Copies of this chain bind each other. A is one copy, B any other.
């Protein structure tokens, strides 16, 4: 499973400097790589490691290559983005080494006769696929995955164990959905139907039926135990190449723009639209019915309660400091109006005196 630099460059691009016939069979960090391995320089501050590495070849950016004292006896694949190149080559070696899974449906799976499962799909033990669902070529459904009525799983998608996809959802090609994620659960919507107040209040919450679905475009990754609710009338939409971390909540009728990344424990309330190429930090909370423009960055732990149409970085989180110090500042903050009153009084006193003078 070793490839020549030439074979790698044919597949992933880049220009070879040195011996194109050298064979490598895996990747390793510069300081640990052996002659049969490929290393990469993602950060110029490690340039000295390139001079010292035993790697068979190094992925390097053109500007960094020029900084080397000599290329003598070394081999390179020159590429503008060695880190992304590394990721692609590493994935290829992992795929080559992975045991081939037998196509077909595990005998313990329960597949409705009206569901369409492609021949090259891999359906694991105890998977359940309901009526009218479609599982495309090369899709892989691991143990205990549930696919509801009429739902579509795109080509080459991989659903890890215990994933639940409700009825009437569409998952695009090459999706990765990690274990325990839930797609298509009911949005949180209830009509209050109460009369009276206080102890005399009677009535109930009436559930608003959630009859939209979830539409997920191509190349989306969804983290473990993340939840994406179905829409009330129209669909909740996740655009192409969105990457969502673990334990994220996305409410009904949200739209998440292409290439946006959302870190773990974030929560996005219903009917909110997030633009393309946004970065939502960990544990960020975003209110419902707001709109974030393209290229908006919200830093970790911040809360968004209004629309942020302009690209930029937004924050509302404090870093933890020593408890006693924090308590002092917090107490002062709660009494800011008193400080302001004292300033006002001082201004009046100084004004009066200046006037008197």
Contact = CB atoms under 8 A, between A and B. Distances in A.
Contact of A277 (B124, B143, B201, B211): B201
Contacts of A164: 160-162, 179-180, 224
Contact of A146 (B84, B91, B162, B346): B162
Contacts of A333: 318, 329, 333, 336
7 closest A-B pairs by beta carbon, nearest first, are: A84-B193, A164-B179, A265-B267, A313-B323, A185-B224, A332-B336, A146-B161
B128 A161 contact: yes
A79 B160 CA distance: 48
A162 B191 contact: no
Q: How many copies are assembled?
A: 3
13 contacts: A90-B211, A108-B108, A110-B126, A144-B144, A188-B246, A283-B283, A298-B320, A315-B321, A316-B317, A321-B334, A332-B337, A339-B340, A353-B353
Interface of A: 29, 81, 83-84, 86-88, 90-91, 94, 99, 106, 108, 110, 124-126, 128, 131, 142-144, 146, 149, 160-162, 164, 166, 176, 178-180, 182, 185-186, 188, 190-194, 198-199, 201, 204-209, 211, 219, 221, 223-225, 227, 229, 233, 241, 243, 245-247, 249, 251, 259, 261, 263-265, 267, 269, 277, 282-283, 285, 287, 294-295, 298-306, 308, 312-323, 325-330, 332-334, 336-337, 339-340, 342-343, 346-347, 349-350, 353-354, 356-357
